[in-house]
């Protein structure tokens, strides 16, 4: 089965490709000739994931799944949330985003959760799959693995950030890993 994963983020693409079973051939946006940025104009993670999957399916004719992920920090009323990638500006700099978040959390409670929503678009069918992992925002960055907010997010039950964990372990417990597992379970029931 061929599926397109609607992301230009190569780190995310590699991470997800490593989670999928061998009978699924994962295509990138580059593989199908989609080089433009797909707008994320919805105000929810679910809305953005559906928007991206629908865009690829409608314009390129492939079954597709897309994700949107947000870091929801309790002390900031769920911010940065749907704006996580652009929290510090349109340049989408992970370093700038982390610096802004760490500054905003000085002296505040640090509980947070990552939430990933995956939208699958196959023909007229739309399905949503959600993965959540709770944890804490660390006072400073730790680790060099991963991407995005990984160096400052420590999942519950761990003494290391996502950026300090081996990729296989991170994938097993992460929000994206959990959402992908729901997607895989669903795809297996579809034959």
**pLDDT interval class at 94 (50, 70, 90):** very high
- Give the pLDDT score at 115: 97
SS3 label, residue 155: strand
pLDDT digits (tens, 9 = 90+) for 149-186: 999 999 999 999 999 999 889 988 999 889 999 998 89
SS3 label, residue 14: helix
74 assigned to active site: no
Q: How many domains does the chain have?
A: 1
Q: What CATH number did the domain enclosing 66 receive?
A: 3.90.950.10
Domain that holds residue 121: 2-189
Active-site residue (options: 43, 68, 74, 96): 68
Give the number of residues written for the chain.
191
pLDDT digits (tens, 9 = 90+) for 42-91: 999 999 999 999 999 999 999 999 999 999 999 999 999 999 999 999 88
**pLDDT interval class at 101 (50, 70, 90):** very high
Contacts of 70 (CB under 8 A, 6+ apart): 45, 80, 81, 82, 83, 84, 114, 115
- Give the pLDDT score at 191: 57
């Amino acid at each position: 089965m061929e599926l397109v994963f609607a992301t230009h983020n190569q780190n995310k693409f590699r991470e997800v490709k490593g989670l999928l079973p061998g009978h699924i051939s994962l295509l990138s946006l580059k593989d199908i000739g989609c080089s433009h940025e797909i707008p994320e104009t919805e105000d929810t993670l679910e809305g953005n994931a559906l928007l991206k999957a629908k865009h690829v399916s409608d314009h390129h004719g492939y079954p597709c799944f897309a994700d949107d992920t947000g870091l929801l920090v309790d002390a900031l009323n769920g911010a940065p949330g749907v704006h996580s990638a652009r929290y510090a500006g349109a340049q989408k700099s992970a370093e700038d985003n982390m610096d802004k978040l760490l500054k905003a959390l000085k002296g505040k409670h640090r509980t947070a959760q990552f939430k990933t929503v995956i939208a699958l678009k196959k023909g007229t069918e739309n399905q949503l799959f959600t993965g959540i992992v709770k944890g804490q925002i660390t006072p400073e960055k730790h680790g060099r693995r991963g991407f995005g907010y990984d160096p400052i997010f420590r999942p519950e039950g761990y003494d290391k950030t996502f950026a300090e964990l081996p990729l296989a372990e991170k994938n097993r417990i992460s929000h994206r890993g959990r959402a992908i597992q729901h997607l895989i379970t669903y795809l297996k029931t579809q034959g």
